[in-house]
A = this chain, B = another copy of it.
Amino acid sequence: MKKGEETKQNILEHGLRLFSSKGYEETSLKDIATKVNIKTPSIYAYFSSKDELFEKIVEFVIDDYVKFIDDQASTIGPLSTKDQLYKLLGELNEYYYMNDRGVFLKRYGVFPPERFKELITQKNSMVENEIRKLLYRILDVESDDHQFIDKENIATAFICLLDGMLFYLMNYSFEEYERRLTSTWKVFWKGILK
Protein backbone atom coordinates (compact mmCIF):
# COMPACT_ATOMS: atom_id res chain seq x y z
CA MET A 1 0.00 0.00 0.00
CA LYS A 2 1.21 3.50 -0.88
CA LYS A 3 2.10 5.74 2.03
CA GLY A 4 -0.75 8.16 1.34
CA GLU A 5 -3.28 5.39 1.10
CA GLU A 6 -2.03 4.01 4.37
CA THR A 7 -2.41 7.33 6.15
CA LYS A 8 -5.92 7.66 4.82
CA GLN A 9 -6.83 4.24 6.19
CA ASN A 10 -5.35 5.16 9.54
CA ILE A 11 -7.41 8.31 9.70
CA LEU A 12 -10.55 6.35 8.92
CA GLU A 13 -9.81 3.68 11.50
CA HIS A 14 -8.86 5.94 14.35
CA GLY A 15 -11.67 8.29 13.46
CA LEU A 16 -14.09 5.41 13.69
CA ARG A 17 -12.72 4.35 17.05
CA LEU A 18 -12.85 7.83 18.54
CA PHE A 19 -16.24 8.75 17.14
CA SER A 20 -17.58 5.49 18.58
CA SER A 21 -16.27 5.96 22.07
CA LYS A 22 -16.46 9.73 22.53
CA GLY A 23 -19.06 10.95 20.07
CA TYR A 24 -18.89 13.35 17.18
CA GLU A 25 -18.60 16.66 19.01
CA GLU A 26 -16.30 15.41 21.70
CA THR A 27 -13.83 14.11 19.16
CA SER A 28 -11.56 16.74 17.67
CA LEU A 29 -9.53 16.41 14.52
CA LYS A 30 -6.53 16.90 16.75
CA ASP A 31 -7.48 13.77 18.74
CA ILE A 32 -7.56 11.80 15.53
CA ALA A 33 -4.36 13.30 14.16
CA THR A 34 -2.52 12.49 17.38
CA LYS A 35 -3.51 8.82 17.16
CA VAL A 36 -2.37 8.67 13.56
CA ASN A 37 0.87 10.45 14.43
CA ILE A 38 0.36 13.33 12.08
CA LYS A 39 -0.58 16.97 12.58
CA THR A 40 -4.14 18.17 12.26
CA PRO A 41 -3.87 19.94 8.88
CA SER A 42 -2.60 16.78 7.20
CA ILE A 43 -6.08 15.35 7.49
CA TYR A 44 -7.24 17.90 4.94
CA ALA A 45 -5.05 16.27 2.32
CA TYR A 46 -7.57 13.38 2.40
CA PHE A 47 -10.86 14.83 3.56
CA SER A 48 -12.27 18.26 2.84
CA SER A 49 -13.85 18.66 6.27
CA LYS A 50 -14.69 16.91 9.52
CA ASP A 51 -18.20 16.37 8.21
CA GLU A 52 -16.95 14.62 5.11
CA LEU A 53 -14.70 12.36 7.15
CA PHE A 54 -17.63 11.42 9.34
CA GLU A 55 -19.87 10.68 6.38
CA LYS A 56 -17.28 8.43 4.81
CA ILE A 57 -17.10 6.48 8.03
CA VAL A 58 -20.89 6.18 8.21
CA GLU A 59 -20.97 4.70 4.74
CA PHE A 60 -18.15 2.29 5.39
CA VAL A 61 -19.67 1.07 8.63
CA ILE A 62 -23.15 0.43 7.30
CA ASP A 63 -21.94 -1.32 4.19
CA ASP A 64 -19.67 -3.51 6.28
CA TYR A 65 -22.52 -4.49 8.58
CA VAL A 66 -24.80 -5.39 5.71
CA LYS A 67 -22.01 -7.55 4.33
CA PHE A 68 -21.59 -9.16 7.74
CA ILE A 69 -25.28 -10.02 7.90
CA ASP A 70 -25.12 -11.61 4.49
CA ASP A 71 -22.11 -13.65 5.56
CA GLN A 72 -24.11 -15.11 8.42
CA ALA A 73 -26.55 -16.56 5.94
CA SER A 74 -23.94 -18.96 4.63
CA THR A 75 -22.33 -19.75 7.99
CA ILE A 76 -25.42 -20.94 9.81
CA GLY A 77 -26.82 -22.99 6.95
CA PRO A 78 -26.42 -26.56 8.23
CA LEU A 79 -27.82 -26.02 11.75
CA SER A 80 -31.32 -26.66 13.08
CA THR A 81 -33.73 -23.75 13.02
CA LYS A 82 -33.35 -23.23 16.75
CA ASP A 83 -29.58 -23.21 16.58
CA GLN A 84 -29.63 -20.94 13.56
CA LEU A 85 -31.69 -18.35 15.38
CA TYR A 86 -29.61 -18.55 18.52
CA LYS A 87 -26.35 -18.39 16.63
CA LEU A 88 -27.56 -15.43 14.58
CA LEU A 89 -28.57 -13.59 17.73
CA GLY A 90 -25.19 -14.20 19.30
CA GLU A 91 -23.23 -13.28 16.20
CA LEU A 92 -25.08 -10.04 15.58
CA ASN A 93 -24.69 -9.08 19.22
CA GLU A 94 -21.02 -9.81 19.26
CA TYR A 95 -20.46 -7.84 16.14
CA TYR A 96 -21.51 -4.90 18.26
CA TYR A 97 -19.45 -5.87 21.21
CA MET A 98 -16.26 -6.84 19.53
CA ASN A 99 -15.57 -3.92 17.29
CA ASP A 100 -16.10 -0.21 17.13
CA ARG A 101 -18.23 -0.47 14.06
CA GLY A 102 -21.09 -1.89 16.08
CA VAL A 103 -20.95 0.80 18.72
CA PHE A 104 -20.72 3.42 16.02
CA LEU A 105 -23.76 1.96 14.30
CA LYS A 106 -25.84 2.09 17.42
CA ARG A 107 -24.65 5.39 18.75
CA TYR A 108 -25.49 7.26 15.58
CA GLY A 109 -28.39 5.04 14.61
CA VAL A 110 -30.33 6.18 17.64
CA PHE A 111 -28.90 9.62 18.26
CA PRO A 112 -27.47 11.03 15.05
CA PRO A 113 -26.15 14.58 15.04
CA GLU A 114 -28.73 16.82 13.39
CA ARG A 115 -26.80 17.20 10.13
CA PHE A 116 -26.48 13.49 9.48
CA LYS A 117 -29.96 12.41 10.52
CA GLU A 118 -31.28 11.91 7.03
CA LEU A 119 -28.26 10.04 5.71
CA ILE A 120 -28.29 7.72 8.68
CA THR A 121 -31.98 6.83 9.01
CA GLN A 122 -32.06 6.06 5.34
CA LYS A 123 -29.09 3.72 5.57
CA ASN A 124 -30.44 2.18 8.74
CA SER A 125 -33.65 0.90 7.27
CA MET A 126 -31.51 -1.10 4.85
CA VAL A 127 -30.02 -2.91 7.80
CA GLU A 128 -33.33 -3.90 9.34
CA ASN A 129 -34.52 -5.16 6.00
CA GLU A 130 -31.44 -7.29 5.60
CA ILE A 131 -32.02 -8.91 8.99
CA ARG A 132 -35.70 -9.53 8.27
CA LYS A 133 -34.88 -11.17 4.94
CA LEU A 134 -32.43 -13.50 6.63
CA LEU A 135 -34.92 -14.40 9.36
CA TYR A 136 -37.61 -15.22 6.83
CA ARG A 137 -35.20 -17.51 5.03
CA ILE A 138 -34.43 -19.35 8.25
CA LEU A 139 -38.06 -19.71 9.22
CA ASP A 140 -39.25 -20.74 5.77
CA VAL A 141 -37.50 -24.07 5.90
CA GLU A 142 -40.07 -26.65 6.93
CA SER A 143 -37.79 -29.61 7.49
CA ASP A 144 -37.93 -29.04 11.23
CA ASP A 145 -39.91 -30.45 14.15
CA HIS A 146 -41.23 -27.12 15.30
CA GLN A 147 -44.28 -25.07 14.47
CA PHE A 148 -43.91 -21.31 14.70
CA ILE A 149 -46.18 -18.35 15.09
CA ASP A 150 -46.42 -15.74 12.37
CA LYS A 151 -43.07 -14.90 10.76
CA GLU A 152 -43.41 -11.14 10.78
CA ASN A 153 -44.22 -11.31 14.42
CA ILE A 154 -41.10 -13.29 15.15
CA ALA A 155 -38.89 -10.95 13.19
CA THR A 156 -40.20 -7.92 15.05
CA ALA A 157 -39.65 -9.58 18.41
CA PHE A 158 -36.19 -10.73 17.32
CA ILE A 159 -35.08 -7.27 16.33
CA CYS A 160 -36.44 -5.83 19.55
CA LEU A 161 -34.48 -8.43 21.44
CA LEU A 162 -31.37 -7.52 19.50
CA ASP A 163 -31.70 -3.85 20.34
CA GLY A 164 -32.48 -4.53 23.97
CA MET A 165 -29.48 -6.79 24.40
CA LEU A 166 -27.29 -3.98 23.18
CA PHE A 167 -27.91 -2.12 26.42
CA TYR A 168 -26.75 -5.13 28.35
CA LEU A 169 -23.67 -5.42 26.17
CA MET A 170 -22.74 -1.83 26.67
CA ASN A 171 -23.45 -1.49 30.34
CA TYR A 172 -22.33 -4.77 31.84
CA SER A 173 -19.46 -7.20 31.71
CA PHE A 174 -19.39 -9.83 29.00
CA GLU A 175 -20.24 -12.50 31.57
CA GLU A 176 -23.28 -10.63 32.80
CA TYR A 177 -24.32 -10.07 29.20
CA GLU A 178 -24.11 -13.79 28.50
CA ARG A 179 -26.18 -14.64 31.55
CA ARG A 180 -28.82 -12.20 30.43
CA LEU A 181 -28.70 -13.46 26.87
CA THR A 182 -29.53 -16.95 28.11
CA SER A 183 -32.49 -15.66 30.11
CA THR A 184 -33.88 -13.60 27.30
CA TRP A 185 -33.36 -16.24 24.69
CA LYS A 186 -35.30 -18.81 26.73
CA VAL A 187 -38.30 -16.54 26.87
CA PHE A 188 -38.04 -15.70 23.18
CA TRP A 189 -37.78 -19.29 22.02
CA LYS A 190 -40.72 -20.48 24.09
CA GLY A 191 -42.63 -17.46 22.91
CA ILE A 192 -42.36 -18.09 19.19
CA LEU A 193 -43.37 -21.75 19.26
CA LYS A 194 -46.92 -22.55 18.31
Residue from B25, B183, B188 within 8 A of A152 (CB atoms): B183
The complex places the Cα of A192 from the Cα of B163 at a distance, in Å, of 20
What per-residue 1/0 map shows which CB atoms of A149-172 lie under 8 Å from chain B? Answer: 100111011011111111110110
A42, CB-defined interface residue at 8 Å = no
User: Are A26 and B25 in contact, with the CB atoms below 8 A?
Assistant: yes
User: Are B111 and A23 in contact, with the CB atoms below 8 A?
Assistant: yes
The complex places the Cα of A160 from the Cα of B162 at a distance, in Å, of 9
A22, CB-defined interface residue at 8 Å = yes
What per-residue 1/0 map shows which CB atoms of A90-124 lie under 8 Å from chain B? Answer: 00000000000000001101110110000001001
Q: Can you name 10 A-B pairs with beta carbons within 8 Å?
A: A25-B26, A26-B114, A106-B110, A109-B171, A110-B110, A110-B171, A160-B168, A160-B180, A160-B184, A161-B164
Give me the interface of A with B, judged by CB distance under 8 Å.
Answer: 22-26, 106-107, 109-111, 113-114, 121, 124, 149, 152-154, 156-157, 159-168, 170-171, 179-180, 183-184, 186-193
- Please list the 3 inter-chain residue pairs (A to B) with the smallest Cβ-Cβ separation, ordered nearest first: A164-B164, A191-B191, A25-B25
